[in-house]
């Protein structure tokens, strides 16, 4: 295992290193929430040109924000085994190069969305970038154990952007979906930070598992999981989704709540907790919920 204090040697080409700066896997997760929301906003099949333009703009915005996050967090990334292969740690990309990439992608994304989608979508994308970089990365992440709770708001914006791209407005339906992602973020991320607690402790990032007892962490995971589940079942009251969405959402929520309570049960009895089980399912959960969001209008 590579020492977290010594940067590993570069093993990829320049393009791959620049691509890694944008954190493509996180972008994929964000886009999973955008397209189904556009189906719901359209009441069926959305305009595919609009979908493509929105996805391009959203990808550029998320990539720019992630590159800027890499610049700000390069000292932390050096100390964490989970992030020690990032391009700024390995020296494949210079901080200046990453900064230029992040700023360029961010500005281009906003201009692109304003020109080819609409001004509201562009404004929401700009807000997400600014929130992620300045509020979460530069302010909250190193100062409070609630960093991921409030910082996670940036990851909720894609549902608003998707809805705005179709309707050029907002309503209660995207707000409910926004809140589903908001409540989902802590029980998604805290199991990961439980698994890599030593990394965060070494880098002095006050994630909840670093500053609180495990019993407190898993209790909070259960609370946020319930808030997420209840909120997801409010969507039929403020939108056109019906039985298809409800059926998939109920099943997905039952599995999530079972996993959360199982984590709490194992923790309370000093059994191996295996928090990555909940982390991995949380990704599946989000995909299922938004699959249902997109599927329901097609079957309705």
Domain membership flag for residue 3: no
Task: Dump pLDDT digits (tens) for 203-252.
Answer: 899 999 999 999 999 999 999 999 999 999 999 999 999 999 999 999 99
Is the pLDDT confidence value at 3 over 50? Answer: no
Position 1 scores a pLDDT of: 42
Q: Which token pair is 123?
A: 């404004």
Q: What is the CATH number of the domain that holds 223?
A: 1.10.600
Q: Give the C-alpha separation, 112 to 225, whole Å.
A: 36
User: How confident is the model over 251-281, as pLDDT tens digits?
Assistant: 999 999 999 999 999 999 999 999 999 999 9
Does a structural domain hold residue 277? yes
Mean predicted lDDT score pLDDT of the chain: 93
Cβ-contact 185, 148 below 8 angstroms: yes
DSSP 7: P
Per-residue pLDDT tens digits for 100-118:
999 999 999 999 999 999 9
Predicted local confidence at residue 60, as pLDDT: 96
Residue 2 clears pLDDT 50, i.e. is over it: no
Residue 5, domain member (yes or no): no
**Domain of 129?**
14-299
Q: Is residue 102 part of a domain?
A: yes
Query: pTM to 2 decimals?
Result: 0.93
Task: Specify the pLDDT at position 25.
Answer: 84
- Least confident range from 25-29, 136-140, 282-286: namely 25-29
CA 22 to chain centre: 13
Give the CA distances from residue 134 to residues 45, 137, 238, in Å, rounded to whole numbers and listed in that order: 36, 6, 32
pLDDT at 10: 58
Q: Is 274 left (phi over 0), alpha (psi -120 to 50) or beta?
A: left
Q: What would the mean pLDDT of 8-12 be, rounded to a whole number? A: 60
Inside any domain, residue 257: yes
* Arithmetic mean of pLDDT, 125-140: 96
Q: Quote the number of domains for the chain.
A: 1
pLDDT-derived band of residue 13, with 50, 70 and 90 as boundaries?
Answer: confident
In the chain, how many H helices and how many E strands? 16, 0
Using DSSP's 3-state secondary structure scheme, residue 109 falls into: helix
pLDDT digits 0-9 by tens, 71-102: 999 999 998 888 888 999 999 999 999 999 99
DSSP secondary structure string for all residues of 107-156: HHHHHHHHHHT-HHHHHHHHHHHHIIIIIIIIIITTT-TTHHHHHGGGGG
- The torsion defined by the Cα of 277, 282, 284 and 286, in degrees rounded to 10, comes to 180
Kindly report, residue by residue over 24-77, the tens digit of the pLDDT.
888 887 889 999 999 999 999 999 999 999 999 999 999 999 999 999 999 999
Residue 275 lies in a domain: yes
Residue 9 lies in a domain: no
In a domain, 91, yes or no: yes
């Amino acid at each position: 295992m590579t020492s977290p204090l010594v940067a590993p040697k570069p093993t990829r080409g320049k393009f791959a290193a620049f691509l890694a700066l944008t954190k493509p896997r996180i972008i994929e997760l964000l886009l999973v929430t955008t397209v189904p929301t556009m189906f719901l906003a359209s009441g069926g099949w959305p305009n595919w040109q609009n979908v493509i333009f929105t996805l391009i703009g959203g990808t550029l915005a998320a990539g720019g924000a992630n590159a800027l996050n890499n610049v700000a967090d390069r000292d932390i990334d050096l100390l964490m085994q989970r992030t020690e292969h990032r391009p700024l740690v390995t020296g494949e990309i210079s901080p200046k190069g990453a900064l230029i990439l992040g700023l360029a992608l961010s500005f281009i994304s906003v201009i692109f969305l304003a020109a080819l989608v609409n001004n509201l979508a562009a404004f929401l994308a700009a807000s997400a970038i600014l929130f992620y970089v300045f509020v979460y990365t530069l302010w909250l992440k190193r100062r409070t154990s609630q960093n991921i709770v409030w910082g996670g708001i940036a990851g909720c914006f894609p549902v608003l952007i998707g809805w705005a791209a179709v309707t050029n407005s907002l309503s209660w339906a995207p707000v409910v979906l926004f809140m589903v992602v908001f409540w989902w973020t802590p029980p998604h991320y805290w199991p990961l930070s439980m698994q890599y607690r030593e990394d965060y402790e070494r880098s002095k990032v006050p994630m909840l598992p670093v500053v609180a007892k495990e019993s407190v962490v898993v209790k909070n995971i259960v609370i946020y999981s319930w808030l997420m589940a209840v909120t997801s079942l409010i969507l039929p009251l403020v939108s056109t989704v019906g039985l298809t969405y409800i059926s998939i959402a109920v099943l997905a929520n039952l599995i999530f709540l079972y996993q959360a309570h199982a984590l709490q049960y194992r923790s309370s009895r000093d059994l191996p907790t295996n928090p990555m089980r909940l982390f991995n399912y949380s990704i599946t959960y989000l995909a299922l919920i938004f699959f249902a969001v997109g599927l329901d209008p097609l079957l309705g």
